[in-house]
Amino acid sequence: MSSFDDVQNRFGAADQGSLRRTNLALVLGRLRDQGPRSRARLATELGITRSGVSSLVGELVERGLVRTGVVERGAVGRPGTSVRLDGRSVCGIGAEINVHHVATMAMDLSGNVVAEHRLTLDGNRHEASEVVDRLVELVSRTEDDVAAHGAAPVGLTVGVAGLVDSTRDMLTLGPNLEWREVPVGAMIRDRLQPDYPVVIDNEGNLAAIAETLPGDPGRRDILVIFGEVGLGGGIVADGRLLRGRQGYAGEFGHMIVDPQGRRCGCGRIGCWETVAGLRALLDAAADTDDAVRDPALGLQARLAELNRRADLGDTRTLAALDQVGGWIGVGAAMLTNALNPAAIVLSGYFAEVGHHMRGSIEARLEAGVLAPHAGGTVVELSTLGFTAAVRGGATLALESVFADPTRVERLVPVAQGESR
Amino acid sequence: MSSFDDVQNRFGAADQGSLRRTNLALVLGRLRDQGPRSRARLATELGITRSGVSSLVGELVERGLVRTGVVERGAVGRPGTSVRLDGRSVCGIGAEINVHHVATMAMDLSGNVVAEHRLTLDGNRHEASEVVDRLVELVSRTEDDVAAHGAAPVGLTVGVAGLVDSTRDMLTLGPNLEWREVPVGAMIRDRLQPDYPVVIDNEGNLAAIAETLPGDPGRRDILVIFGEVGLGGGIVADGRLLRGRQGYAGEFGHMIVDPQGRRCGCGRIGCWETVAGLRALLDAAADTDDAVRDPALGLQARLAELNRRADLGDTRTLAALDQVGGWIGVGAAMLTNALNPAAIVLSGYFAEVGHHMRGSIEARLEAGVLAPHAGGTVVELSTLGFTAAVRGGATLALESVFADPTRVERLVPVAQGESR
């Protein structure tokens, strides 16, 4: 329960940590969460000596993670030297395999997006090995972009639409991909031979990480509900992703909310995703031959068409959005009783059409939560679009550096540095 | 998201922390979680110098939190000096107000129970102020016990059966106590005038804290379901209680699981506690004039009678336990999809009769969880009986010392020490 363990457990580092490493992490984390500041201010805020701060900052500079520069002061006092994150030298890479596409994103330590790639692909129609081949091509291209940027990758996180057993590095079950026991991580490592760690994770978890804003109290306790063909998401509690024992947390889509309802892809009756997933919306909104149900058109175009109809006041479309919104609210209320999040962030397809569902979601939330005013929980729409999972994957890869800055080697003289 | 913030946020400390404080907390936490060990071992494990460890241990000794003693070595090497927690000087106090009783417990830093008091009381029949008066009498008695033990209280945590708004220090709603907007914390402080902090919390949260075992990986991610007249509990994720935005997390009892079912005390239809709370069990197991439904007999005696009937094979009792167990499993499966806990710990009345319900709970859990084998989640019965909430309250009060050892003042020479 100590904070020392906390740092270790963030990314599952197995070795013994050190206070030095913890202290480097504290300085680096503060610069990320609170922005650039002087050494003197860091010393005051962290309650250590100026020389202690200088030593820590010096090491972070040597590792290329922070840089220093003159900061202007007011009329009084000498100008102090500010310390800020140096985003340039390392990148995290996020990748995603879902039913509709494969995608990647590279992000530097400061949160700047360095590269982004996406390929539309029908995950159901291809063997797992083919899908992984396509993804590895995108990752290779992303690696080239990172190298051209003058940076090195520190890790790759691959989000998949399904249950990921973190203890076995295995996609246990991807109901909508129709994959079972696929060693996605090992397949990628075999093809890519990377010199950085590759971690697989649930795409809903990664979408949740992407919505967490370090330093923003309104985004420390959030529930992210990620709508796709299936329905998943993640729980962030006190700024940290809740993973559970085997990494299976966030499988909201299979909470049974409609016991007399329809059969789910998983075989059960009345799972939340049967009434709130994309198929439920399309079934309610359109006949089977309607263009909005044609996978060939691409999801964003189809959702844009639904929005167009709703904006024009089409009764069937509005009723469908209302009905699905109500069911989103039913499940959200259950989870809000359990979790009392500051915000429920609707991600994936929910974010695209959520403005038409907000009223019905909020009404069910208010009705279904014991605490007055739904415990203060607000409903928000993600602004990350369909990049949430890859963004979260890149963030998680970078997180390993924030948890342990010594993972990035000290910079060596230029002549030798080229061997990196 | 830094571990520095983590330490601060554990007990809501508002001031700026310091690395020194963090480092003291790391040493103290390691001694609690891993047991006594030598300075040399601490230095190796924490990756700091021997003199750094000696300085930290020295300060913890001065604050009366650890003590040192000779440890035997084998045939080779000099005997080293071991460092261990010193439980004697400080105690945490836990208290509870629920529908059936008020109670207190004092626990020292090593986890030894120093005092325990309990008073049966029908919370529905008394004004809130009377109930608080009775509790304050028990707390005063407990303070005397702590003083007689030679220790000082570091904090009091009061668990109540209801929604506690941690930001306003207010019992917002206690549906089964029939209390609304009762400032329990302020009422206790007014009467008691303590020189230590008084915090109110939900009794299910405290029961969950009591089940968390620092250092035991099987108890780092747990879901505690606490059965009483109502049904509540708490979520522990990665060793930390999940509180949510306003402290309302863990209100599982009002998840709607039976939408066509009975009306709940909260006014909604089909809340989990209507089918799994104590009343549901008693309604199913016994006619209205049956002695097991007589509040005057005391809850433990009535549950013992139900167990006796079940052991004798009484059909109605067994069917009632089976039915309620099935409903416990339905809600547990929902939460397990969301949280993937290592263990679901059944606490409160569930622990007393849970051995007769385990089969039906596990069957529903297996059927309702997407992950194979219920994601590895096991069902366990609490062994803490009805003391779980007070134990958790005392633990939480002590936690403030583990998070910030400087909260306990350095010992002063004996002549002045008596003024404490």
Report chain B (420 residues): mean pLDDT per 10 consecutive residues: 31 48 89 90 85 92 90 59 89 92 94 93 84 96 96 96 87 87 95 95 93 81 91 91 91 92 91 94 95 85 96 97 97 97 95 96 95 94 92 94 91 47
Mean pLDDT for the stretch of residues A148-166: 93
Across the interface, whether the CB atoms of B256 and A330 are under 8 A apart is answered yes
Note whether A337 contacts B: Cβ–Cβ < 8 A: yes
A384 pLDDT band (50/70/90 cuts)? very high
Distance of alpha carbon B172 from alpha carbon B251, whole angstroms: 13
Instruction: Tell me how far apart the alpha carbons of residues A24 and A65 are, in angstroms, rounded to a whole number.
Output: 11
Tell whether B415 is covered by a domain.
no
Instruction: Looking at the structure, tell me whether residues A182 and A301 fall in a common domain.
Output: no
Distance CA B84, CA A298 (A): 63
- Please report whether residue B412 resides in a domain: no
CA angle B338, B339, B345 (to 5 degrees): 125
Residue B148 lies in a domain: yes
CA separation, residue A253 to residues A207, A233, A328, B275 (Å)? 15, 8, 10, 23
- Residue listed under structure tokens 């998840």: B255
B413 within some domain? no
What is the pLDDT at residue B253? 94
Are A380 and A392 in a shared domain? Answer: no
Judge if B221 and B203 occupy the same domain: no
Residue B417 lies in a domain: no
Q: Do A334 and B334 touch (CB under 8 A)?
A: yes
Q: What is the DSSP letter of A258?
A: -
pLDDT number for residue A304: 95
By CB atoms closer than 10 A (0-12, 13-18, 19+), residue B113 is middle
Same domain, residue pair A77 and A160: no
The pLDDT score that the predictor gives to residue B341 is: 96
Quote the number of domains for chain B: 3
Query: In the numeric block, which tokens belong to residue B26?
Result: 């790391």
Cα–Cα nearest to B234, from B393, B375, B97: B393
Q: Is A252 on the interface with B (CB under 8 A)?
A: yes
**A contacts of B29 (beta carbons < 8 Å):** 1-5
Higher-confidence position of A15 and A234: A234
pLDDT of residue A45: 87
- CA nearest B238: which of A3, A49, A231? A3
3-state DSSP assignment of residue A123: helix
Q: Return the SS3 of A32.
A: helix
**Mean pLDDT calculated for residue range A393-406:** 93
Instruction: Quick: pLDDT tens for B188-240.
Output: 999 999 999 999 999 999 999 999 876 777 888 999 999 988 899 999 998 88
Q: Which of B50, B85, B120 is the C-terminal boundary of a domain?
A: B85
At residue A19, does pLDDT exceed 80?
no
CATH of the domain at A354: 3.30.420.40
Residue A8 confidence class, pLDDT cut points 50, 70, 90: very low
Would you tell me which residues 350-409 of chain B have a C-beta closer than 8 angstroms to some C-beta of chain A?
367-372, 375-377, 402
B16 and B152 in a single domain? The answer is: no
Among chain B residues, CA nearest to A332: B255
Q: Å from A203 to nearest chain B CA?
A: 14
Say what the pLDDT of residue B2 is. 27
* B66 and B116 in a common domain: no
Amino acid at B57: V
Residue B312 in contact with partner chain A when CB distance is under 8 A: no
Decide if B221 and A367 are in contact by the 8 Å CB cutoff: no
pLDDT of residue B410: 86
Strand order across the A152-160 sheet: A113-120, A101-108, A90-97, A152-160, A198-202
Q: For residue A245, give the chain B residue with the closest CA.
A: B342
Contact state of B338 with A212 under an 8 Å Cβ cutoff: no
Q: Which member of A16, A340, A370 has the closest CB to residue B246? A: A340
Mean pLDDT, range A239-247, rounded to an integer: 90
Task: Please give the average per-residue pLDDT across A269-295, as a whole number.
Answer: 93
Q: What is the pLDDT of residue B60?
A: 95
Q: Output the six-digit token pair for B214.
A: 């620092």
Are B114 and B171 members of one domain?
yes
Asked if residue A120 lies in contact with residue A100, where contact means CB atoms within 8 angstroms, the answer is yes
- The domain boundary residue, chosen from A65, A85, A105: A85
Single-letter amino acid, residue A32: R
Verify that A190 and A157 share a domain, yes or no: yes
Contact A27, A55 (CB under 8 A): no
How confident is the model at residue B78, as a pLDDT? 62
pLDDT value of position A157: 97
Closest Cβ opposite residue B19 in set A5, A46, A338:
A46
**Residue B100: what pLDDT?**
81
Task: Say whether both A360 and A400 belong to one domain.
Answer: no
Is residue B419 domain-resident?
no
**Does the distance separating the beta carbons of A18 and B26 come in below 8 Å?**
no
Residues A280 and A324 sit within 8 Å (Cβ to Cβ): yes
Helix axes B299-311, B278-285, angle to 10 degrees: 50
Of A197, A184, A219, nearest to A153 by C-alpha is A197
Range of the domain at B34: 3-85
Lookup result for tokens 């003693």? B69
Give the C-alpha distances (Å, rounded to integers) separating A384 from A57, A106, A186, A387.
33, 15, 29, 6
| Whether residues B255 and B288 fall in one domain | yes
Give first-to-last CA distance, chain A, whole Å.
37
Same domain, B224 and B344: yes
Is residue B319, in this structure, part of any structural domain at all?
A: yes
Give the one of B6, B239, B370 whose C-beta lies nearest to A251's C-beta. B370
Cα–Cα distance measured from residue A222 to residue A343, given in angstroms and rounded to the nearest whole number: 5
**Contact (Cβ atoms closer than 8 angstroms) between residue B33 and residue B215:** yes
Regarding whether B198 and B52 lie in a shared domain, the answer is no
Residues B134, B112: Cα–Cα separation, whole Å = 25
pLDDT at residue B266, rounded to an integer: 86
Q: What is the pLDDT of residue A80?
A: 67
- The minimal CB distance from B2 to the residues A29, A237, A341 is found for A29
